[in-house]
Amino acid sequence: MYDLVVIGGGVWGVSAARAAVEENASVILLENRDGVGSEASAKAGGIVTDLLWHPEDQAWVEESRKLYEAASERSRDVTMLQRLGMVTLADPSRHHLLEARAKVLEARGIPARLFSQADLARQFPDLSVTPADILALWLPNDWHVNPTQYCQVAADAAREQGLEVRTGHRVSALRIEDARVVVEGPGEDIVARRALVAAGAWTRRLVATAGYDLPLRPYRVQLASLAIEPGHHFPMVWDLATDIYIVPDGPRAMLAGDGTRLWEHDPDTYDQNGDPDFHDGLAEHVPTLVAAGESAHIVNSWAGAVGATPDRRPLVGFLDERLAVACGDNGFGVMRGPAIGRLSGLTALGVAGVRPHLDPKRLPPDDFEIRPGFTLED
């Protein structure tokens, strides 16, 4: 019998499993897809930023940066972590929001600088196409990470410490018996003292098989890859007016997203392609944000499923003394994932104490309005 079975091999589940084996527990990680980091974690823009309204998120980002850095050193692949910096653009109706955020960041000791459009264009000539009345906030320490690579590196490191990983293993049901959890799926049942379900947007569906419900609603987020002419240099960009963000992706490509569809989607049947109106929005607005956008064209686009909670905070803790969950990423779980995953792995093992404000039972599992999680203000 394992001490812990972790279900879900995204950034959260892999980080949880790794933290648990580091405590010398016997742990098995089960992932439906053929490799770890294959679902939302593979589809993400990979932005890691300090531009967060909740101080707890800031602390999780800080811890996650260290874990990403350690994985990057282990992988020796320069594309795993790129220190690109991020510029956030505000139209005049939002200048005050950006100014307020800059003050908060300064108080938290995070390097941040406000630029007028003219100064921005001098600093980053590719951004000279932005409207003349914008205000820009420059965060030089923001990163882009490759979450799938992180998952692979972290899972490999954990394997060396005794983690068993089974991919292509879709858990069909969970059963809680007196002193154990029985996990049903292909082949023989897997039995453990405790289970941690870190199955992202599928977590609610999975715990329902054991008779539990969660305030978690899956929704759909889109991203596109655009081919660009070589020779452009620009940082990551987030435009508050359109909610479009752009991430450089090597000399000939960039990622561009917004595309958040704030209504519930079935994580097993949602459309995994980008919508035509998402493409239209990018075609209209991206050229007004970076000069590289003028001749860019969409090569590929996709959608992933993420999980909303009523208060936009994660659900980490126990539904039953043997069954824990880690979900409720609210669309920005890559930047906080290594730390939240680690916390949930240690909590599920009983090594870390439960945090009442993250208790998955703190809110009733009723319907609620899905709101974007990654915003400038609370």
**Tell me, what amino acid is at 352?**
A
Q: Residues for the chain: how many in total?
A: 378
**Which residues are registered as beta bridge partners of 254?**
226, 248
Pick from 5, 47, 176, 207: which binds ligand FAD (CB under 6 A)?
47
Q: Which is nearer to ligand FAD, 93 or 258 (CB)?
A: 258
Pick from 12, 219, 234, 238: which binds ligand FAD (CB under 6 A)?
12
Q: Which is nearer to ligand FAD, 229 or 271 (CB)?
A: 271
Shortest separation between residue 128's beta carbon and ligand FAD, angstroms = 25
Block residue for tokens 């792995």: 345
Binding mask 322-351 for ligand FAD (x = CB under 6 A): -------x-xxxxx-x--------------
Q: Kindly state whether residue 214 participates in binding ligand FAD, applying the rule CB under 6 A.
A: no
- Dihedral, CA atoms, 355, 361, 367, 370, nearest 10 degrees? 10
Read off the tokens for 14. 């892999």
Residue 154, CA atoms < 13 Å, CB-side half-sphere: 35
Stretch that binds ligand FAD, among 78-86, 131-139, 199-207, 271-279 (CB under 6 A): 199-207
Residues 128-187 that bind ligand FAD (CB under 6 A): 170-171
Pick from 3, 6, 10, 67: which binds ligand FAD (CB under 6 A)?
10
CB 136 within 8 A of CB 66: no
Stretch that binds ligand FAD, among 24-32, 77-85, 115-123, 271-279 (CB under 6 A): 24-32
CA-CA distance, 199 to 333, in Å (whole number)? 12
Stretch that binds ligand FAD, among 103-111, 122-130, 153-161, 215-223 (CB under 6 A): 215-223
Shortest separation between residue 43's beta carbon and ligand FAD, angstroms = 4
Q: Kindly state whether residue 31 participates in binding ligand FAD, applying the rule CB under 6 A.
A: yes
Shortest separation between residue 109's beta carbon and ligand FAD, angstroms = 22
Q: Kindly state whether residue 9 participates in binding ligand FAD, applying the rule CB under 6 A.
A: yes
CA-CA distance, 372 to 378, in Å (whole number)? 10
Q: Kindly state whether residue 46 participates in binding ligand FAD, applying the rule CB under 6 A.
A: yes
- Residue 300's CB: how many other CB atoms inside 10 A? 13
Binding mask 252-291 for ligand FAD (x = CB under 6 A): -----x----------------------------------
Residues of the shown chain interacting with ligand FAD in the complex, contacts defined by CB under 6 A = 7-13, 30-33, 38-41, 43-47, 170-171, 198-200, 202, 206, 221-223, 257, 304, 306, 329, 331-335, 337
